[in-house]
Amino acid sequence: MYGAMFKGYISNNMPGKVIELFEKISIEINEVVITMLFNACAKLCNSHAIKIGRDTLNRLPTSFLRHPTLVTSAIDMFMKFGEIESAEYLFSQIKQKTSYSYGAMMQVYLKNNLSEKALDLFEKILMKPNDVLYTIVYNACASLSNEKAIQLRKKIFDQMPKGYLNNIVLVTSVMHMFMKFGEIEIAEDLFSKIKQHSPYTYGVMIHGYKTHQDPQKCLSLFEQMKKENLTIDEAIYVALVGACSQIGIRSICQNIVRQITLPQSKIYGKSGDIDQAKQIFQSISQPEIITYNSMINAYARNGMGYEAINLYNKIPENIRDKISHICVVNACSHSGLIDQAQMVFNKIDKKSEEIVTTMIDCLSRMAMFDPAQKLIDDYEKSNSPYLIMYSAILSGARNHRHIALSEKIFNRMRLLFPNEKSALISASVLLSNTYSSLGDDQQVAAIRMDRIKELGKNVKVGVSWTEVNGQLVRFQAHDRSHPQSDKIYAELERLSNELREHGHEYDSTWVTRPLKNEETIESVLCGHSEKLAIAFNFIQYPRPSFIQITKNLRVFGDCHRATKLIAKIRQCEIIVRDANRIHHFHTNGQCSCQDHF
- Give me the mean pLDDT over the 477-489 stretch: 90
| The pLDDT of residue 268 | 45
pLDDT tens, residue by residue, 118-134: 899 998 888 899 999 99
Query: What three-state secondary structure class fits 372?
Result: helix
d(CA 202, CA 237): 12
- Give me the mean pLDDT over the 237-253 stretch: 73
User: Is residue 399's pLDDT more than 60?
Assistant: yes
Alpha helices for 417-484 (secondary structure H): 421-437, 441-455
Residue 11: DSSP 8-state: H
Residue 62: DSSP 8-state: G
Query: Is 563 within 8 Å of 585 (Cβ atoms)?
Result: yes
Distances 493 to 7, 497, 572 between C-alpha atoms, Å: 76, 6, 18
pLDDT tens, residue by residue, 323-342: 999 999 999 988 889 999 99
Lowest-confidence region among 10-14, 313-317, 529-533: 10-14
Helix (H) or strand (E) holding 584: strand 582-585
- Give me the mean pLDDT over the 507-517 stretch: 73
- Give me the mean pLDDT over the 152-179 stretch: 89
Query: Is 236 within 8 Å of 209 (Cβ atoms)?
Result: no
Query: Is 531 within 8 Å of 255 (Cβ atoms)?
Result: no
What is the separation, in whole angstroms, between the first and last Cα of the chain?
74
- HSE-up of 479 (CA within 13 Å, CB side)? 23
Fold of the domain spanning 2-183? 1.25.40
d(CA 451, CA 423): 12
Query: Is 107 within 8 Å of 136 (Cβ atoms)?
Result: yes
Residue 548's beta-bridge partner residues?
575
Query: Is 364 within 8 Å of 372 (Cβ atoms)?
Result: yes
d(CA 66, CA 68): 6
Q: Are domains 2-183 and 351-459 of this chain identical in fold?
A: yes
For 483, other C-beta atoms within 10 Å of its C-beta total 7
pLDDT tens, residue by residue, 359-376: 999 999 889 999 999 999
d(CA 311, CA 318): 15
Helix (H) or strand (E) holding 550: strand 546-551
- Give me the mean pLDDT over the 492-518 stretch: 82
- Beta carbons within 8 Å of 140's beta carbon, 6+ residues apart: 106, 109, 110, 115, 118, 119, 122, 149
User: Is residue 69's pLDDT more than 70?
Assistant: yes
Name the CA radius of gyration of the chain, rounded. Answer: 29
Residue 551's beta-bridge partner residues?
464
Helices 403-416 and 387-399 pack at an angle, to 10 degrees, of 160
d(CA 578, CA 570): 22
Q: Nearest CA to 489 among 526, 453, 450, 515?
A: 526
User: Is residue 272's pLDDT more than 60?
Assistant: no
| The pLDDT of residue 202 | 92
Rounded to two decimals, what is the model's pTM? 0.57
| The pLDDT of residue 141 | 92
- Amino acid occupying residue 525: L
Residue spans per domain, the chain:
2-183, 197-283, 351-459, 463-585
For 131, other C-beta atoms within 10 Å of its C-beta total 19
pLDDT tens, residue by residue, 290-321: 888 888 988 888 888 899 999 999 998 888 89
267 pLDDT tier (thresholds 50, 70, 90): very low
Q: Nearest CA to 377 among 362, 389, 367, 365?
A: 389
Lowest-confidence region among 67-76, 255-264, 485-494, 547-556: 255-264
Phi, psi of 177 (to 5 degrees): -65, -50
CATH for the stretch 351-459: 1.25.40
Comparison of pLDDT for 76 and 509, the residue scoring more = 76
User: Is residue 442's pLDDT more than 80?
Assistant: no
- HSE-up of 253 (CA within 13 Å, CB side)? 29
| The pLDDT of residue 27 | 67
| The pLDDT of residue 260 | 58
User: Is residue 185's pLDDT more than 50?
Assistant: yes
What is the greatest pairwise CA distance in the chain?
98
Lowest-confidence region among 22-31, 47-56, 112-121: 22-31
d(CA 37, CA 26): 15
- What mean pLDDT, rounded, does the chain reach? 84
